[in-house]
Amino acid sequence: MSSIPVTILHGFLGSGKTTLLRKILQQASVQKMAPSVIVNDMSELDVDGVLIANTDAVHKEQGNFVTVSGESISSPSGIKQLDQSLKSLCLEQTPSWIVIETSGSSHPLPLVEYFKHRHEYALKDVITLVDAIWLDKDYRKGTQLIPKWQENMQRGIRGIENLLVEQIMFSNRVLLTKTENMDDHTVQTIAQALHPLNVYAEIVKTSWGNLDIKALNGAQNYNFFLVEQLTAELRAAVNDPLNLVGKKGQNLVAKVIEDDRPFHPQRLWDTCHAYLTKGVFRSKGFFWFPTRDDVALLWSQANGNVGLEITGFWRASVINDETQNFTAEHIQILQDKIDSVESRFGDRRCRLTVIGQVNEVDHFITALKSCFLSDSELELWRNGAEFQDPWPKNIAKLK
């Protein structure tokens, strides 16, 4: 029996892995391909899993989609869950292709070792996505990444730079993401800065997750021999806590904030400008504004950049829309789904996960909580009052 091809998507928090995976699944659907997918999210909220499920390309009910949430898939317990997930995907039928999206804090080494000894699978690509904007702003077009990594090595600490560098070292392909507004010279400078870390890896720039899936699953398998020495050197340290900005006790954490109230648009805007420091690496989730109470919004923040997307309409906003011509049965189905959500506002809720160093995350969450509408503001909203809303009105809609 032939081995099942496997593609692994790595990359630090907010590098664009879910965006790329959605684009891969869109292309696969058009080309009548049927990949199976494993999504890992270090938060229990599992935002990435929800986004992938919304593509309609894979479904847990069809046995071709599994999520591993609440921890890194490269941890010892995460590897056990990976093994169980793969067995689950292969239970009913043999997948034609498996794509694994890891969490941003995951290390490639344990996964590479796992597949090295599983001959029923053929590891094709270990792809690392690198946020080009982050390297441009925080590492001087990438030129300071290697010096900072070397400094960490000399000081005997494992920082963020160590994880990013090692993700690149284990890759056979590196994708520079978020290059759509970047000039060619800057992209070339970043690529040249990364090249010494892995001279065997192809470095390609991408925009909005666009990558032709024909470039994946080639005839050649991943070359385990190239990383044998690296594996031996790093095996004992890959799951050590990261040292963040040199502060004691600053471990990488993921915390969830939930509330049925909407965010005040202006207060949220001001909070983002005041509190999004380097210590808050990633925040993501679903929320709503009183100024756009019909749409469910996706919040996606990486470092200092925040993006909003429409993920759909709240059922509570469409159930009474006469233009939809819903049947009584359809209305009852919608109402049952609305009633299943614990909220005072139909199915509207805010659910976000914040990832970063513990003190910074706590400060940001406290600030976010102050952005929810107060009881008096909720009453104003119910009575049709307007609120200041500085956020862009032209929002990209997920397809």
Instruction: Please tell me whether residue 76 adopts helix, strand or coil conformation.
Output: helix
Buried b (16+ CB within 10 A) or exposed e, 155-187: eeebbbbbbbbbbbbbbbbbbbbbbeebeeebb
What six digits make up the tokens of 215?
Answer: 């470039």
pLDDT score, position 398: 45
β-bridge partners, 101: 9, 39
What's the rounded Cα separation, in Å, for the pair 176 and 182?
A: 11
Question: Which token pair is 283?
Answer: 């925040």
- CA gap 324, 315 in Å, rounded: 12
Other CB atoms within 10 Å distance of the CB of residue 240: 11
H helices of 319-373, in order, are: 328-339, 358-369
Instruction: Report pLDDT for 259.
Output: 97
Q: Note the pLDDT of residue 395.
A: 57
Fold topology of 4-235: Rossmann fold (3.40.50)
Are 127 and 201 contacting, i.e. CB atoms less than 8 angstroms apart?
no
- 152 and 161 Cβ atoms separated by less than 8 Å: yes
Decide: 359 and 279 in contact? Cβ < 8 Å.
yes
Extents of the domains making up the chain: 4-235, 252-383
Give backbone dihedrals phi and psi of 100, rounded to 5 degrees, phi first: -115, 120
Q: What is the pTM of this model?
A: 0.88
* Pair type for strands 252-259 and 350-357: antiparallel
Distance (Å, whole) CA 163 – CA 127: 14
Residue ranges of the chain with pLDDT lower than 70?
1, 244-250, 277-278, 395-399
For the chain, how many residues are written?
399
Helix (H, G, I), strand (E, B) or coil at 56: coil
pLDDT at residue 46, rounded to an integer: 80
Structural contact between residues 146 and 164, judged by C-beta atoms closer than 8 angstroms: no
Torsion of CA 310, 26, 110, 225, to 10 degrees: -140
List b or e across 368-396, with b for residues whose CB sees 16 or more CB atoms inside 10 angstroms: beebbbeeebbeebeeeeebebebeeeee
CA 74 to the chain's CA centroid: 16
SS3 sequence of 206-264: CCCCCCCHHHCCCCCCCCHHHHHHHHHHHCCCCCCCCCCCCCCCCCEEEEEEEECCCEC
What CATH code is assigned to 252-383?
Answer: 3.30.1220.10
Q: pLDDT tens across 81-138, in order?
A: 999 999 999 988 899 999 999 999 999 999 999 999 999 999 999 999 999 999 999 9
Residue 277 has a pLDDT of 67
Of the chain, the end-to-end C-alpha distance in Å amounts to 37
Helix (H) or strand (E) holding 389: none
Which phi and psi angles does 176 have, rounded to 5°? Answer: -85, 115
Percentage of residues of the chain with pLDDT beyond 90: 69
Closest CA to 264 of 383, 350, 364, 362: 350
Phi, psi dihedral angles at 230 (to 5 degrees): -60, -40
